[in-house]
A and B are shown apart, each in its own frame.
Chain A
């Protein structure tokens, strides 16, 4: 028997597979496909203080082995999420979830994070300073190490649960940003958010997305994400959640060898709603194939 367990800042997970924020809603849509209880956890849809519609449509475009989205943090607002979504989630998911906190000011991030911090259903808080689809806030925080450090410090002071900062890949040196999060007191980092990209429609000669640019994700980004997780693992002493283009159990193991303590699966859920279930099912077989008895033991293994 192989051991698929892992842990994030003392929080034990049955396995490292977590659907990524923004690709899994608040779980309801996937409960029709399989029993969500098998998941390591679920990273909930990015939540802001006020309800948001997001950007105008079209906000999805296809790419080779991936996709662009410019959804722009559509969500019902933190109060509705806590009052309505969390109780509904509890009915279909017995474990703790990850709250993904978005914002446009330090005050808003602190406000939303402290509300989630009071919820026993939440295992950790993921601070989204990397959404490429909102004009103020989002990525404008996550690309500046000074802002990342001070925002992390402010939110950390307001919460008791582990705080993980979700990083943008749209920077020169992602390890520098990770270090800034660590200096600010982050308990961990999660990476990568989407890569800023665009598509142009040859028929209309205009960008496909109404917002022109959007976040690129899907299988195509896996090697880039893996390299960034590898770099960040070298730089920091806090745990890393690895994500970006993961589509199969083999990718989960590669990401953990690069330094991830757990992984998030994003775009793949959208094209194959069974993606996470299949990865969890396949993990023991793939571990055996490569002579791995315990996933915990391979975290960062590629650095040794």
Chain B
């Protein structure tokens, strides 16, 4: 059981939740947790935005009834959460100038990743893509880590107008997380190595139900277990 320390709106339809509880299962950036919400049968998989000993930060978007209910949970409430799920990003592959590209709800796991890479002395560039100004979050937090940050909005109401591919910083490796059309565009726009984090409807989130399996060059992979992060060279669109 985890205790909600904070659950606040940080942008349009976007909430930041801080939880107190066991963090020993969390090993790598890009992993996720699976949250039980009363009144909903399946858990909600949400990527880990950040954690320190005994505290987890999640950022989630309200997309339906479950996350809407989650957004109304007050501090002090207890939450049933499975942690340490999924494979996460491989930090060793980054090279000296990793480029992190996130779209919307795909931004949060990149924060934890950026933090780790900066700590390793890497020159981190980040592209954060949103639909519009009201949805933008964490720009300053990424900057505070020491990352070079570009923000794009589809309607041009903030930062560079266009999709995440509108800016092309110098880089050695790409880490991406976001909706599939964004991942596909990034995949096509960048040569060289990278890791892409995928979303899929999940039953369990820990590899038992085979609900989220996808085909890859390296065989069938469960997005929740051998994913959500796939190496660029193994992706089959």
Contacts and interface: CB of A to CB of B under 8 A. Distances in A.
B234 to A, nearest CB: 15
How extensive is the interface on chain B, given as a class?
Answer: 20 to 34
A64 interface: yes
Contacts of A57: 200-201, 211-214
A230 interface: no
A271 B211 contact: no
Contacts of A67: 41-42, 203
B204 interface: yes
A23 B207 CA distance: 10
Interface string A51-67: 00110011111111111
A267 B42 CA distance: 10
A58 B220 contact: no
Nearest to A32: B206
Contacts of B207: 25, 28-29
Interface string A40-78: 000001000000011001111111111101010010000
A60 B209 contact: yes
Contacts of A64: 41
Contacts of B40: 62
Nearest to B44: A62
B82 interface: yes
A69 B209 contact: yes
A45 B211 CA distance: 13
A58 B41 contact: no
A244 B212 CA distance: 22
B28 interface: no
Nearest to A214: B211
A199 to B, nearest CB: 11
A274 to B, nearest CB: 10
B210 interface: yes
A79 to B, nearest CB: 16
A60 B211 contact: yes
Given A64-B41, A74-B220, A58 B201 contact: yes
A25 B208 contact: yes
A269 interface: yes
Interface string B201-229: 11110111111111100001000010000
Contacts of B42: 60, 62, 67, 270-271
A22 interface: yes
A289 B42 CA distance: 31
A30 interface: yes
B206 A71 contact: no
Contacts of B41: 62-67, 218-219, 267, 271
B199 to A, nearest CB: 10
B204 A269 contact: yes
Interface of A: 22-25, 28-30, 32, 45, 53-54, 57-67, 69, 71, 74, 208, 218-219, 267, 269-273
22 contacts: A23-B208, A29-B206, A57-B211, A57-B214, A58-B200, A60-B42, A62-B41, A62-B42, A63-B41, A64-B41, A65-B41, A67-B41, A69-B203, A69-B209, A71-B210, A71-B213, A74-B210, A218-B41, A269-B204, A269-B208, A271-B42, A273-B82
Given A32-B206, A53-B215, A71-B211, 7 more contacts: A25-B207, A29-B225, A58-B201, A67-B203, A71-B209, A71-B210, A270-B208
